[in-house]
Amino acid sequence: MKTKFLFLATLFLIIGCGNNTNNSNKNLEAGETEIAVNQLRHVVLFKFKESSTSTDIQKIEAAFNDLKLTISEIKDYEWGINNSPEKINKGFTHCFFLTFDSEKDRDTYLNHADHLAFGNVLGPHLDDVLVIDYWNK
């Protein structure tokens, strides 16, 4: 009797823990993770002039990275250099990915003195730019 009780108690505990985990992810496909909702993503792609040196580009990378330190509205930031084997990047090599809580925060970033100063560093080396903003789903 005592053994059956312990078995049932353990079973209910396992089922209860399993249900909590499943409920938090019940709308996700296999392999997906939960993401925060209501965040604005700001994706920036750069194509540099052929005349820009690797030193020039490194200065631009550092200047963009510094924006996270001075503009508090940036909630998350990451960047990287294209390494796609598909060769369809149309000359765009650098991707910068910023997250904001609101359009107001994004607009503050766009008009921030440090962002505008970054434009002066970038401008002489920029061949093309592509920007896409979206609300995550």
Instruction: Indicate which CATH number applies to the domain containing 82.
Output: 3.30.70.100
Pair 127, 49: CB distance under 8 Å: yes
Q: N- to C-terminal Cα distance for the chain?
A: 51
Instruction: Kindly indicate the confidence band of residue 30, based on its pLDDT and cuts at 50, 70 and 90.
Output: low
Nearest to 51 by CA among 127, 137, 129, 132: 127
Residue 44 CB partners (closer than 8 Å, separation 6+): 95, 96, 97, 98, 129, 130, 131
30 lies in a domain? no
pLDDT at 28 over 70: no
12 lies in a domain? no
pLDDT at 34 over 90: no
More confident residue, 36 or 96: 96
66 lies in a domain? yes
128 lies in a domain? yes
Q: How many domains does the chain have?
A: 1
Least confident of 10-24, 59-73, 79-93, 116-130: 10-24
18 lies in a domain? no
Ramachandran angles phi, psi of 83, nearest 5°: -135, 25
Give the pLDDT of residue 102.
98
Give the pLDDT of residue 31.
66
**Six-digit token pair at 92?**
């765009």
Residues 18, 35: Cα–Cα separation, whole Å: 21
Mean pLDDT of 26-45: 75
**Domain containing 118: what range?**
40-135
63 lies in a domain? yes
11 lies in a domain? no
**Can you point out the beta strands (E) in 2-54?**
40-48
Instruction: Kindly indicate the confidence band of residue 35, based on its pLDDT and cuts at 50, 70 and 90.
Output: low
Instruction: Kindly indicate the confidence band of residue 92, based on its pLDDT and cuts at 50, 70 and 90.
Output: very high
121 lies in a domain? yes
Each residue's pLDDT tens digit, 102-132: 999 999 999 999 999 999 999 999 999 999 9
Pair 100, 73: CB distance under 8 Å: yes
pLDDT at 11 over 70: no
Pair 102, 40: CB distance under 8 Å: yes
